[in-house]
Amino acid sequence: MKFEKKSLLFLEEYLNTASPTGYEHQGQKVWMDYIKPYVDKIESDHYGTCYGIINPEADFRVVIEAHADEISWYVNYITDEGLIYVIRNGGSDQMIAPSKVVHIHGEKGIVKGVFGWPAIHTRGVNSDEPIPKLENIFIDCGATTKKEVEDLGVFVGSMITYPDEFFELNDRYFVCRALDNRIGGFMIAEVARLLKQNKKKLPFGLYITNSVQEEVGLYGADMIADTIKPNIAIVTDVTHDTTTPMIEKKKEGDQKCGNGPVIFFAPSVHHTLRELIVDTAKKKKIPYQRAAASRATGTDTDAFAHSNGGVPSALISLPLRYMHTTVEMVSKEDVANVIHLIYETLLKIKPDMILKYHQHK
């Protein structure tokens, strides 16, 4: 699967730029710089959600959306001995923390640290063996006192991210932390690029939206939906590849990397929009998978759907392995197909579409 060199360079820089929830600014700058040539106008709100607009004067507004933030940790407590205890910022996984290198974003710049863990010899390999929990994982930044930590510019409230960077695996997968969901930001940016490159004229305003603070409650999407007031929203996020070990398909469904975009069925997903997406996939011979969500999708789809008295919304997900770890994996082919599916769906949307389920004379 070939991507343009410029696109891949953007993806690598974008993924490698730390953008923890609430501190997405650096990543958003990289994203805005990339999409600028492909849109008529760029806007951002007070909390950092950014969006590029094509046809800003149009009355009918369509959003394609991803979220920009990655999970991280906050410094929560510094011991007298200079060790750091943390709390989550989003769904950070304590199980993967021991022995990970971290970047602490201090007031004087980045401070390196490590999540320490007692040696196997000292903890006893038996049923009583300790497991990583929020209350027993800690960061050692080489300091021996609390004052030393603070002299480094690290205080309670400092943000902590993993430095793990982008690479490709077996020419089949992209691997990185924060593919959830900066890969979504990449895909919607590529849709904007293709529309420009192919000189497509849309009969509506398109808002390519990269929202903040999804990982802590869909807050960025909640805010921006009220600002844009879209008529339609198509959201892209990641979902689980359920074919790897220790995942129960009866509970998590049956989705696999390489088998195509995942089209969701859920109360917040609008039938007319979803059927348009499915029909587009069939006609354009784009492989796709199906998944269901019982109450909420857990994505920004819910925020858009429930905003402004109800906005017809749909969710196209990208299968991903090892979510909320530093080795998240997605299929390059699936990435290309999500881009293709969103692009082709947009070409079928008309401002006079009938979006109400019931028509009254």
Encode pLDDT of 182-234 as tens digits. Answer: 999 999 999 999 999 999 999 999 999 999 999 999 999 999 999 999 999 99
Q: What is the pLDDT of residue 1?
A: 61
Distances from the Cα of 156 to the Cα of 85, 119, 151, angstroms: 9, 28, 13
Q: What is the pLDDT of residue 127?
A: 67
Q: How far apart are CA 327 and CA 132, in angstroms?
A: 19
User: Residue 24 half-sphere exposure, CB side, CA atoms within 13 Å?
Assistant: 29
Give the residue-averaged pLDDT of 341-346. Answer: 98
More confident residue, 180 or 127: 180
Compute the residue count for the chain: 361
Q: What is the pLDDT of residue 128?
A: 79
Would you say residue 126 has pLDDT above 80?
no
**Rounded percentage of the chain residues whose pLDDT exceeds 70:** 99
pTM over 0.85: yes
Element (H, E) at 72: strand 72-78
**Rounded percentage of the chain residues whose pLDDT exceeds 90:** 96
**Token pair belonging to 355:** 């979006």
| Bridge partners of residue 110, in order along the sequence | 105
Q: What is the pLDDT of residue 359?
A: 87
Give the residue-averaged pLDDT of 168-189. Answer: 98
